[in-house]
Structure 1
Amino acid sequence: MPLFCDIALAERIERAEARLMAESSEAAHRRRGDGRGFVLPIAGGVASFAEPDSPFNKVAGLGFGGLTSATLLDEVEAAFAEHKSPVQVELSQLADPAIGELLTRRGYRLVSFENVLGLALGAPRERITPPGVEVRRTDEVDPWLRVVGDSFAAADVEGVASHEEFPRETVENAMRDFAAVGVLRYLALREGEVAGGASFRVTDGIAQLTGAATLPAHRRNGVQTALLSARLADASGCDLAIVTTQPGSKSQQNVQRQGFDLLYTRAILVKGD
C-alpha cells in the first residue's frame, strides 16, 4: 500500500527539516566566526540565515505550531532585510491554511514548488549495485565536495527547473556545514572512476536523504540507484526515509522506482527579492 501522509506525519517531517536547517546554519556561523546570521523559532518552524546566497537562508517547518503573529513576522522580515536577503518560506500543503493566507496578504509571491517523498522502512534492506558501480562511505570531505559540486554545476534539465542557483563556493560551504552536523557522505565509482556522491542524516528516526548527484558522463548507468540503495541499507533504526525533489525530475522518477511515495508538496513563497 502507498504510504499515506496525514498532518501528524507531515509535522514530524517538517520539524526534522527545520532542525536540519537550524543546525546547519549554526554550523555556518561557527565556520565564519563573524557573529553574523541568525536562527529564530517561528510557528513550529525556524527562520535561518547562514551566510549570503546560502541554501539555508529560509523559513522551514512553518505552520504546525499555531498561527504566527504579525509582530513575529515583522521581526523575521527585519532580520532578513538586515542581511539584504529576501525571505523565502517553504510551506507544506498540509500546514495550517491560514499561514498561506497571512503570507500572501503580506506580499509574499508564489515562485515554485518542491515535492517531499517518503518510504516506510522496516526490515534491513539489501544493497543494489549495478555492474561496474561501487558505493562506499567516506570520511574525506574534499573528494566528496568536488564530485557533488561538479555534478550540481551540470544539473539535469528534466522536470520543473529550480528557481534557485547557488555559486559553487556557496554550495561547497553548505556541504561542509552538512558534514559538521552529522551528515554521512558517500562516493560512487563507475568502472573505477569517481562518478557521483550523496549524503544522508538521521533525525528522530527519519533518514533525511540530503542530496545525491552524478557527473554527466556517468548518468543513466545506475549510479543514483546504487547511492540510494546504499543509504537505505545504512538507515538502521529509522522507520522512514524522506527525500525532496523538483517536480517531474529524474530524481523524483528514480526514487519512485525504488518505492518512494509522493507525500506532499511545499509551496515556495518569497518576499523582498
Structure 2
Amino acid sequence: MKTERTPLFCDADLAARIERVETRLIEATALAAHRRIADGRGFVIPVAGGLASFAEDDSPFNKVVGLGFGGVPTADEFDEVEHAYAAVGAPVQVELPHLADPEIGLALSRRGYQLESFENVLGIAIEDKYDVRLPDGIEIRPSGDEEFDVWLNVMADAVAVPDTQGVPWREEFPRDTYIEAERDAAAADITRYIALLNGDVAGGAGLRTTEGVAQFAGAATLAAHRRHGIQSALLSTRLAVAATAGCDVGVITTQPASKSQQNAQRNGFDLLYTRAVLVKHPAPS
C-alpha cells in the first residue's frame, strides 16, 4: 500500500524564516556588486524587517524583499526607498508574500504601485537521508572555481532559451548583466553544481544552506538536453546535500505553472505561498 505524504504546511513563522534568508541572499549579492563596480550608486536600505536593494542597472537583484513580517513600513520609510530608486532611474519592485501583513499591500496600492506578476515559493520537508539514484548517462557534481566561467556560460545559455510552459517571465536581463549577477551571487555562499549528460555539459544549478533552509538557487538545462531528467537529477542531488547539512526545509522559487514548478512538485515540493510583484515606475522627467 502506498503511504500518503503529508504536504508541508507553511505558517507565518516558516514564511518569515524563508523571507529572512532570501533577504540575506539579496543583500550579500548586492554588496558584492557594489564592491565590483564601486561607482557609489548601489544601495541596500533596511526597511521593516526587509531590504531595498539596488545592485546595478538592470540587475535581477534590484528589488524590495522580506517585507510582511516586521511591521508595516512608515510613510517616511517608503519615501526613503522611493527616492533612492528614483535617484538611479530605476523602478521600485516589491516582492510581497501573500502571507504578509495585508496592510502593506493596501499601503503600496495607495502609493501607486501596480501588480505586474506573481512568483511561487515551493517547499519540502527535508528527510534525514536520501538515496540518490540518477538515470543512466546523467552525472551531477560540484562545480569548482576552476570552471566558474564554464558554469556561468552554461547557465546564461540555458536561460536565454526559456521553457515556454506556464506563465512567461515578466523580466528579461541582458546576458552580460545576468552573468555578472550570478558571479556576485557566489559571494553569498552558493555552492554550484554542473550536470553532465553522456559526458557533455547539460546544465547547472546552485544551492545555499542557512538557518536550516536550503535555497535551491536557480537551475537551468541547455535546450538541447531538456526532457532527459536533468532538472530532477539536480533537485535530488541537492536534497541529499541539504540533508547532510542539517536543513529541515528546502525552498525553490518558480514561475506559476512552469516546467520548473512541475518538476519540483514531482519531486515532492509543495506550493507554500505566492509572492505578488508590485512595481512603481519613476515619474516621467
Same fold at TM > 0.5: yes
Please list the CA deviations of residues 110-136 of structure 1 after superposition, one character each: whole Å capped at 9, or x if unmatched: 000000000011211122311111111
| Matched AA of 2:139 | E
Instruction: Determine the structure 1 residue equivalent to 2:184.
Output: 177
Unaligned runs of 5+ in 2: 1-5
- Conserved in 2, the CA contact under 8 Å of 1:2 and 1:261? yes
Query: Normalised by the size of structure 2, how large is the TM-score?
Result: 0.94
Structure 2 match to 1:60: 65
CA distance in structure 2 between the aligned counterparts of 1:156 and 1:264, rounded to whole angstroms: 22
In the alignment, is residue 125 of structure 1 matched against residue 134 of structure 2? no
Report Cα offsets for 1:208-238 as digits up to 9, x if no partner: 0010000011000011111111111111211
Give SS of 1:79's match. helix
Give deviations 1:69-127, integer Å, cap 9, x for gaps: 01110000000011100000000000000000000000000000000000011211122
What is the TM-score when the length of structure 1 is the normalising length? 0.98
Q: CA-atom RMSD, angstroms?
A: 0.8
Q: Partner residue of 2:140?
A: 135
Letter in 2 for 1:31: R
Deviation, 1:198, is: 0.3
CA distance in 2, matches of 1:248, 1:52: 29
- Identity percentage of aligned residues: 61
Q: Give the alignment partner of residue 150 of structure 1, picking from 154, 157, 167.
A: 157
Contact conserved, 2:166 with 2:256, CA < 8 A, in 1? Answer: yes
Aligned residues of 2:29 and 2:188 also touching (Cα < 8 A):
yes
Q: How does 1:90-105 map to 2 (within 5 A)?
A: 90-105=95-110
Shift of 1:160: 0.4
- Distance, in Å, in 2 between the alignment partners of 1:75 and 1:67 is 14
2:237 to 230, 246, 253: 230
Secondary structure of 2:22's match?
A: helix
Question: Which amino acid is the alignment partner of residue 272 of structure 1?
Answer: H
> Take 1:182 and 1:15, find their aligned partners in 2: how far apart are those partners?
16
2:167 is matched with: 160
Q: Which residue of 2 aligns with 1:266?
A: 275
Query: Are 2:35 and 1:30 equivalent residues in the alignment?
Result: yes
Equivalent residues, number:
273
Question: Separation in 2 of the partners of 1:34 and 1:107?
Answer: 30
| CA contact 2:28–2:187 (8 Å) conserved in 1 | no
- 1: CA distance, partners of 2:275 / 2:51: 15
TM-superposed CA distance for 1:259, in Å, is 0.3
**In structure 2, what is the Cα distance between the partners aligned to 1:134 and 1:238?**
24
Mapped to 1, the partners of 2:35 and 2:133 lie a distance apart of 38
Partner secondary structure for residue 10 of structure 1: helix
Range 84-93 or range 15-24, more displaced = 15-24
> Following TM superposition, by how much is the alpha carbon of 1:68 offset from its aligned partner in structure 2, in angstroms?
0.7
- The answer to whether 1:202 aligns with 2:203 is no
2:259 is equivalent to residue 254 of structure 1: no
Q: Distance in 1 between matches of 2:133 and 2:72?
A: 44
